[in-house]
Amino acid sequence: MRIIFGFLAALCVLLVVSGVAGGQQTEGPFYEVQPGDTLYSIAQQLGSTMQALQDANGIADPSMLVIGQQLLLPGYVGITGMVRTRPLLPGENLRMLPLQLGNERSTLLQLNRIVNPAALYLDQPLIHLVPEQAEAARTGQFVLATSEDTLLGLAVRCGRNPVELWMLNGRPAPGSLVVGDFIFLPSESPLEGLPAPFEQISISPEHPGQGQPVVITVMVAAGAAVSGQFAEADLHFAELASEHIGLFGIDAMTAPGVYPLVLRAHTAERDSVALEMRLPVSDGGYQLQRIHLLPEKAQLLLNEQSRALEETIIERAATGYSAEKHWEGRFQSPMPSDHITAGFGLRRSYNGGTFSTFHSGMDFGAPDGFPIHAPAAGVVVLAEELRIRGNATLIQHGLGVYTGYWHQIGLDVSVGQRVQAGEVIGRVGESGLSTGTHLHWEVWVNGTQVDPLEWLQLEIPER
């Protein structure tokens, strides 16, 4: 009986493998099935469809894949060999990728169906020929041309003549250098993907969603400083544990899409070096919430002048930057998690109006007087009674991070007071625009409100 079953299993494998050869396509690039692959996951990472792969490979049953099985990829003309994928890393572009991967630029454009090379985004799956099927990757380094550089000077620097250097960079004839252009200088060193003085860049998360905080960690040569910009917001960096740390938040109302991210390194010896990349932002999937307010509460929202004045007060208090990091370890929740009654990001409609606003923090339901604890060490920068937020407190924790506490029964701290993690800083109330006793807790990062639950998961390096 075991012999019969073994024979049938072998026959099934033979039929599957022979089915590949029986497809319509006879040549082209191919992908080797890896452990854990499904036809759906392969189609997703290679920018194809299950049906297209089935048709090209004569696959009748998409569930019958075999590890090591070679799948022909449809739609490519003039390209042969095995392909794999890898994510686009910070700072990489189509000037450096051909040299790093040993692939022709035209091959990468065709394999990835790239129409606009400037539209590549971070962590994008890049299809490329594996080293055995491509030219040997080069050794050397990338530099960004500055206003002080010349083609002759760079050629002398790497021991080549200008014409040879220009051709190594894929240029048909010597021309003028463009400030900020990537230039490859051959040497004996392994080719790094970042130009000096950048040494390493990491971005977490790589695919942020609406309302998420983002941490950028940059390593540069000694003495270099780092700055940056995301969309239209300036980024600030502090040097912690020999790394430059930058924090910012994705606004909860930011439309899903791809946004520009620029990182700059500044040295005393040369012009600033800028890396331009694109960061994808996904939909947060926030739900809708309808709230009915009593007439006296609704009037607080209808007074546009009072609302604008209060927004200005909060934004001025929560948007400064200090390179001093007051806290250690992770933030803790200001109240027990089983008291959470409303999460961040809910699209809100008041008294039948449009869903034009969002819930900018997290609500904790509790009786009057329930203690509120500081989630981390910091300095109080606002302690004031406001019309909408009621008795409000803001704490500055450093690195552009602030936490806010609205609707308290009173004010237990004062501006300038230093607080420690776990210290009681206030008590739950129902002041201002509130439908019941609760704490509304906000986390601001680089001037943007972010999901407090997401922030609680982060741990920033110590000095």
pLDDT digits (tens, 9 = 90+) for 297-356: 666 666 777 788 999 999 999 999 999 999 999 999 999 988 999 999 888 777 777 777
| pLDDT of 421 over the 80 cut | yes
Q: Are residues 350 and 441 in the same domain?
A: yes
Q: Are residues 129 and 149 in the same domain?
A: no
Q: Are residues 393 and 416 in the same domain?
A: yes
Confirm whether 349 is domain-assigned: yes
- Which residues have CB under 8 Å from 10's CB, separation 6+? none
| pLDDT of 12 over the 50 cut | no
Q: Are residues 179 and 127 in the same domain?
A: no
Q: Would the pTM of this model clear 0.85, i.e. be above it?
A: no
Say which CATH number the domain at 326 has: 2.70.70.10
Q: Are residues 129 and 151 in the same domain?
A: no
Rounded Cα gap, residues 80 and 28, in angstroms: 5
Both tokens assigned to 393 = 């407190």
Say which CATH number the domain at 182 has: 3.10.350.10
pLDDT of residue 174: 67
Confirm whether 37 is domain-assigned: no
Confirm whether 293 is domain-assigned: yes
Confirm whether 298 is domain-assigned: yes
Q: Are residues 162 and 226 in the same domain?
A: no
Q: Provide the number of structural domains found in the chain.
A: 4
Question: Maximum CA pair distance of the chain?
Answer: 85
pLDDT of residue 134: 53
Domain extent for 109? 81-133
| pLDDT of 390 over the 60 cut | yes
Say which CATH number the domain at 251 has: 2.60.40.10
Both tokens assigned to 250 = 């994705």
CB 332 within 8 A of CB 452: no
Confirm whether 60 is domain-assigned: no
| pLDDT of 270 over the 90 cut | no
Average pLDDT estimate for 52-78 = 91
Q: Are residues 336 and 274 in the same domain?
A: no
Q: Are residues 149 and 254 in the same domain?
A: no
- Which residues have CB under 8 Å from 37's CB, separation 6+? 65, 67
CB 407 within 8 A of CB 390: yes
Q: Are residues 116 and 248 in the same domain?
A: no
Confirm whether 119 is domain-assigned: yes
CB 221 within 8 A of CB 267: yes
Average pLDDT estimate for 265-281 = 83
The confidence band for 271, taking pLDDT boundaries of 50, 70 and 90, is: low
Q: Are residues 311 and 349 in the same domain?
A: yes
pLDDT of residue 455: 97
Determine whether 212 is exposed, middle or buried from the number of CB atoms within 10 Å of its CB (0-12, 13-18, 19+): buried
What's the whole-number average pLDDT of the chain? Answer: 86
Q: Are residues 272 and 314 in the same domain?
A: no
Q: Are residues 296 and 167 in the same domain?
A: no
